[in-house]
Chains A and B, each alone.
Chain A
Amino acid sequence: NHADCASEEIIYKIDVPANRYDLLCLEGLTAGLLVFLEKIPQSRYKLIYPTSQNKLEKITVKSACMNVRPFVVGAILRGITLTKESYDSFIDLQDKLHQNLGRKRSLVSIGTHDLDTIKGPFVYNAEPPKDIRFKPLNQDKEYNGEEIMDLYAHHAQLKQYLPIIKDSPVYPIIYDSNGVVLSLPPIINSDHSKITLNTKNIFIECTNTDLTKGQIAVDILVSAFSQYCKDKYTVEPVEIIYEETKEVVRSPTLQYRSNEINSDDAVNFIGIKETPQKIAKLLSKMCLKSEVKNGNILSVEIPPTRHDVIHARDIYEDIAIAWGYNNILKTIPKILSVGKKFPLNKLTDHLRQELAQCAFTETLTFALCSREDVSDKLGWSFDQIPAVTISNPKTLEFQVVRTTLLPGLLKTIGANKNMPLPLKLYEISDVVLRDPQAECGARNQRRLCAIYYNKSAGLEVIHGLLDRIMSLLDVPWNVNKTNDGYYLEATEGIVYL
């Protein structure tokens, strides 16, 4: 049972920022912290090429791939030694990259293979599902593309990825030079090339629809696990040949980007006083190796693990973090400014106070409700109402935005039937109406709604309240029913405001 399998060890659950993919595994997190604490120097990642150029592993991308999953990024980790822990961490990092950066494999899908079980050059193609045939990971027999879809239709994890390619006339597929299938991205790898604790050379292929994200994923994966290679922190590149464009690229690039920032700009932005030398040191703690170039100019090197740095501002942030947010001197902006209420809200505030002075009690109800709440339950057909409808509500309570405040007030009474009578409630808030003239096709309208609930209806109470409101708004009652002021007119049918 579960209790027996559970570890006795204390395990920490750590939240990391959504843009720091380098911190998604224990290897990256410990490296980052140790560099921050200046306990270890920052690692430097290197590409190493095989002894002769033509031994470079190649993946040819067939033109058919353009229809389904157009890009691939490759990499090789040579002479690796994995333990149970590092193997689990390797699989776990792939899974996390699939989930967040890869948007559940739709953008990025990584396949890792035991290179010694397959033989390059490799072909990335897209073929009709019926023509694809292989033994998927941990299965006993071969299935074709269609059968694999059926096989995993109810699989707890894999079923969510099927729709990414299911309706495509061709499925992505990777072969080696002997026609052995490596994987059916983004669904499943083949059983043949699976990696184990004994795997010495790992071949990584990462198919994707967003090349930038595919490159980030492979950079993150190889930089975290190249430390287990015989030559630490080295990665062997793979050549990608795009048949469609004749383009030939090598991946991963493990590119170190260099950036220049002005130290004065940085400290002025943060609001601290510090020398360029100290700033360079702070940045180096954040894995952004920096040195003073001349005067205030710092040369900052952005490693391939830090794809989140896309602007000088991102570098400023790292300086502030290294400095410590709580050590920054508090200052107040020197702006002469005049406070001002939004006029509609100002009027609303006045009326809210006045209605409370009329012994009415303010309610606060939801802006979202069911279709019936604003139509059938009030005797209207839904078609007559200019309601804004929600396409994907999680519950039926949130199908539309209210077009009237009345249902909310009635529901409040319904939930408070134990209260002494009479109940006198009001709300002043927004309803939303479709309006083709409005920028987004709908506009808010501020409404006032009051309700009197007692053993007798008390229409004269609500009538009196309306008179009071009009008098507060300085709108006179007009007996002659002309355009000045207000008057009431009897009407038939169902009229609710």
Chain B
Amino acid sequence: MGPSVEARSIVVSVEGMTCNSCVQTIEQHIGKINGIHSIKVSLEGKNATIIYDPRLHTPESLQAVVGDMGFDATLADSVP
């Protein structure tokens, strides 16, 4: 990876997902957003691990994106 590539990861708690189609919708939708490197959603863990470019996103903006989709998103507090 070149020095220009920046990536940070956060875990967002997501409430309101009940099935795999919810998971897929979130992964597809968020994965398409510019500045998102990857996203992994866990139905059992009720959370989403997002690897993103910190120049384009903040934890708050990512929370808002998930929230706009109609799910309750909260930032996990253990992330620096």
Co-assembled chains A and B: no
